[in-house]
């Protein structure tokens, strides 16, 4: 490991050190390099030097593999980053298909501004595991502008980011169950092409039920019926 780069300090790793930091065998690291899943290292004679950008990429690969992505799909995502594909087209590669969500490309500094003091290695790992974040070199992509804004607002109000992410994990479990219910309903009575067209109806049902559920909780806590 060395420290270098004009004006700034950058941690660098030999091949074995990077593999150890990422928790993978050296042969896996070399395989990823051969598959062009990692950008080239800096060469100093026969020595290959990697940095924290390579480590972040390896953690992204691990998180995407855990979410069921194939190495081929991850390679496509990597190519999309490196070829400068419009960020709005990355949703399908990140596993959100024809989602209405708008991905956001950020620098690490911009991400830190959203969550001042809360961007820890543990929270980054949790975000990668959830699929909220993907990293590429100096840039980070958050898969949803709305989730980014809501989570940063909660943190500004004083909710720890770790608690926000854990709640997000639990919400996803319920959201998956609700999506399955709606899909089963439509599939049982209508042709397959009806699902995308009727998707807004599911969204309206969820929003209405969540609003009424919050009303019930507030009413039970305050001892009065919420005004209409």
Rounded mean pLDDT for each run of 10 residues along the chain, 228 residues in total: 51 92 91 86 91 82 74 70 50 51 82 87 83 74 90 95 95 92 92 85 91 92 53
- Check residue 53 and give its pLDDT: 80
Half-sphere exposure of 209 (CA within 13 A, CB side): 9
User: Which pLDDT score, from 0 to 100, does residue 109 have?
Assistant: 81
* Residues 133, 63: Cα–Cα separation, whole Å: 10
Residue with the two structure tokens 């309206």: 204
Contacts 24+ apart (CB under 8 A), 78-83: 78/36, 78/37, 78/136, 81/136, 81/137, 81/139, 81/141, 82/39, 82/136
Selection from 71, 51, 76, 49 nearest residue 61 by Cα:
71
Alpha carbon 158 to chain centroid, angstroms: 22
The per-residue pLDDT for 228 is 44
Per-residue confidence (pLDDT) for residue 5, from 0 to 100? 46
Tell me what pLDDT residue 214 has. 92
**pLDDT for position 136:** 60
């Amino acid at each position: 490991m060395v420290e270098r780069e004009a004006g700034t300090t950058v941690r660098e790793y030999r091949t074995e050190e990077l593999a150890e930091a990422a928790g993978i065998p050296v042969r896996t690291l070399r395989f990823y390099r051969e598959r062009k899943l990692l950008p080239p290292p800096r060469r100093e004679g026969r020595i290959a030097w990697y940095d924290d950008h390579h480590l972040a990429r390896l953690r992204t690969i691990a998180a995407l593999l855990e979410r069921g992505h194939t190495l081929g799909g991850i390679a496509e995502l990597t190519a999309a980053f490196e070829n400068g594909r419009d960020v709005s087209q990355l949703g399908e590669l990140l596993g959100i298909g024809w989602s209405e969500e708008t991905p956001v490309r950020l620098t690490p500094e911009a991400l830190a501004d959203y969550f001042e003091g809360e961007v820890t290695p543990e929270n980054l790992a949790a975000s990668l595991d959830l699929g909220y974040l993907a990293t590429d070199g100096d840039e980070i992509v958050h898969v949803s502008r709305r989730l980014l804004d809501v989570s940063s607002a909660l943190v500004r109000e004083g909710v720890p980011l770790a608690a926000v992410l854990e709640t997000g994990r639990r919400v996803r479990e319920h959201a998956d169950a609700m999506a399955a219910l709606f899909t089963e309903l439509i599939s049982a009575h209508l042709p397959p092409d009806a699902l995308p067209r009727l998707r807004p109806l599911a969204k309206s049902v969820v929003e209405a039920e969540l609003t009424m559920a919050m009303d019930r909780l507030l009413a039970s806590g305050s001892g009065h019926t919420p005004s209409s």
